[in-house]
Chain A
């Protein structure tokens, strides 16, 4: 250190650190741009990671920095937990992993706000001391905007932490996936909790001198996070995680405003913006509005009362066997695979890939039609299929896939339900009316692999199953697909 005093003071200067921050957020933006294409995405992610490394180094150059041992401890703990978790998680468990990582980010934001508050002397207002019965103002209060951003970060971070943990619990099936709700009172409870948190926040911004009030605010926000996510069904969870991801981003940006740190502001805000867009895209693809998802109660599997009447469908369902399905597929020119949530749950992607390889070796043209919300998150299905080595160019997005169904001999629907239901186009009274679907019913024949006739998460019957050209193969997606492959190679 003492050998190069000039260099040290230069690299520790505010301007130099600021320039590093600018480089860091430029790399974040460049990295996210890279994520816009499958060929540049890997590099984009790494560029963003390099940006993060630079931002951390820049912060550590800060001449006031101290407590090195504790910093090393915290980072070591984080690496010890984060690296194995990220290395070992199965691709099907990706949504809950993202929820967990998002949750700890929100938790970090809330804790940082808390420590910040403590460091001001447990008040955002002027510090006071009592001497001989008289209160003397010492000054040192923080600017109001700093207090506002800190309180905002604390509330949103706490909501995000607890909400994400509940989402994780539901997806990991530690908690039941069905909505857990107080019924109609839920909305009132949520509203009261929100008002309480905001009221505590306002009191703190106004200069209340009480750490208990701050802790109380964190706890109320935690209850709010639980109360908002618990009533939401498992199938809506991706939208919730995306929403919470945006929240954590915004709270990080607020922390940046409070701490006057440009890297935090830019990175947090970009995540806030992108998370909002993603959330909206997902909601649109499911024909749901974000408020109605947050209101909860839907999406638990048959939770909709009105669905009962639909059970009286008097069409007949034709069931088929693996060998018949194999013959049907073997003599097709063109087969479109429509994978859904059921395929992801059964982890059948490798079995599906084996089947399509077998078909390709017989000269059948195979492609995959991917609904935007197939799987558990937008694009999740693509990840699962890519994991199983399916060539990227065989994956067709909905808009490209739909015109092709008319010249498709067999559509093989594996564990997808609502995203193929013609009622979304034909039945204005249906709860999913207006949702964009894969127009599987246009193809010459349809094979549906499904566990049972149970309705999908929207709780409604699928007209497709009663279509005369549809045959149903009941069973677990993975074993059913493997059976077909076995029959096919025996042909």
Chain B
């Protein structure tokens, strides 16, 4: 009974999370797809938690522990690297103040603009 309820509760969470993911992501504009891919990539680094949880088990042999160190290191690379890289990418989208008007050449910059596309 108890097992069945854990399973069904988790299945419900699984299905709902799928729909939430679908709805939240569908609204993202094309231009942000690369950062989005990188950001979601960082989020699945959450498998790190699996490694941490298993370290809490009693009676792990040395080989299992060595494997878990690798798993935690991999998960950490995924999380830390993923978020940092996404942050760097997104930072470039931030609108920077651009005092460009000063060195703009003004109205005299358009002489012969009506000349069309000559060659």
Known A-B contacts A86-B80, A101-B78, A333-B113; the reply to A81 vs B73 at CB < 8 A is: yes
When the two chains form their complex, are residues B77 and A249 in contact, meaning their CB atoms are under 8 A apart? no
When the two chains form their complex, are residues B39 and A32 in contact, meaning their CB atoms are under 8 A apart? yes
Can you list 15 contacts pairing A with B, beta carbon distance less than 8 Å? A35-B32, A41-B90, A41-B93, A64-B58, A97-B81, A111-B67, A115-B60, A257-B11, A263-B49, A266-B17, A269-B14, A278-B36, A327-B118, A361-B109, A445-B117
When the two chains form their complex, are residues B84 and A395 in contact, meaning their CB atoms are under 8 A apart? no
Distance between B30 CB and nearest chain A CB, rounded to angstroms: 5
Contact residues, A41-64 vs B (CB, 8 A): 41-42, 44-46, 48-49, 52, 55-56, 59-60, 62, 64
When the two chains form their complex, are residues A271 and B40 in contact, meaning their CB atoms are under 8 A apart? yes
The A interface is mostly helix, strand or loop, or mixed, namely helix
Known A-B contacts A38-B31, A261-B49; the reply to A74 vs B72 at CB < 8 A is: yes
Number of interface residues of A (CB under 8 A): 128
Tell me which residues across on chain A come within 8 A of B107, comparing CB atoms.
363
When the two chains form their complex, are residues A67 and B55 in contact, meaning their CB atoms are under 8 A apart? yes
When the two chains form their complex, are residues A119 and B57 in contact, meaning their CB atoms are under 8 A apart? yes
Query: Which of B24, B50, B59, B77 sits near A255, CB closer than 8 Å?
Result: B50
Residue in B82, B91, B109 whose Cβ sees the most chain A Cβ within 10 Å: B82
* Cα A245 to Cα B10 with chains together (Å): 22
When the two chains form their complex, are residues A275 and B40 in contact, meaning their CB atoms are under 8 A apart? yes
In the complex, which residue of chain B has the Cβ closest to the Cβ of A28?
B43
When the two chains form their complex, are residues B78 and A41 in contact, meaning their CB atoms are under 8 A apart? no
Tell me which residues across on chain A come within 8 A of B25, comparing CB atoms.
32, 270, 273-274, 277-278
Distance between A90 CB and nearest chain B CB, rounded to angstroms: 11
Known A-B contacts A85-B81, A101-B77, A274-B25; the reply to A259 vs B53 at CB < 8 A is: yes
When the two chains form their complex, are residues B18 and A269 in contact, meaning their CB atoms are under 8 A apart? yes
- The answer to whether the Cβ of A389 comes within 8 Å of any Cβ in the partner chain is yes
Tell me which residues across on chain A come within 8 A of B84, comparing CB atoms.
82-83, 86-87
When the two chains form their complex, are residues B28 and A35 in contact, meaning their CB atoms are under 8 A apart? yes
Query: Which of A245, A270, A332 sits near B20, CB closer than 8 Å?
Result: A270
When the two chains form their complex, are residues B37 and A101 in contact, meaning their CB atoms are under 8 A apart? no
Tell me which residues across on chain B come within 8 A of A116, comparing CB atoms.
54
Contact residues, A375-432 vs B (CB, 8 A): 375, 377-380, 382-383, 386-387, 389, 391-392, 395, 397, 409-410
- Give 4 nearest A-B pairs by CB, closest first: A78-B76, A74-B72, A273-B21, A82-B81
Residue in B26, B40, B104 whose Cβ sees the most chain A Cβ within 10 Å: B40
Q: Give chain B's interface residues, CB within 8 Å of chain A.
A: 3, 6-7, 10-11, 13-14, 17-22, 24-61, 63-65, 67-96, 98, 103-105, 107, 109-110, 112-119
Q: Give chain A's interface residues, CB within 8 Å of chain B.
A: 25, 28-29, 31-33, 35-39, 41-42, 44-46, 48-49, 52, 55-56, 59-60, 62, 64-67, 70-71, 73-75, 77-79, 81-83, 85-87, 89, 91, 94, 97-98, 101-102, 104-105, 107-109, 111-112, 114-116, 118-119, 143, 145, 241-242, 245, 248-249, 251-253, 255-257, 259-275, 277-278, 281-282, 320, 324, 327-328, 331-333, 360-364, 370, 372, 375, 377-380, 382-383, 386-387, 389, 391-392, 395, 397, 409-410, 444-445, 471
* Cα A370 to Cα B118 with chains together (Å): 26
When the two chains form their complex, are residues A253 and B14 in contact, meaning their CB atoms are under 8 A apart? yes
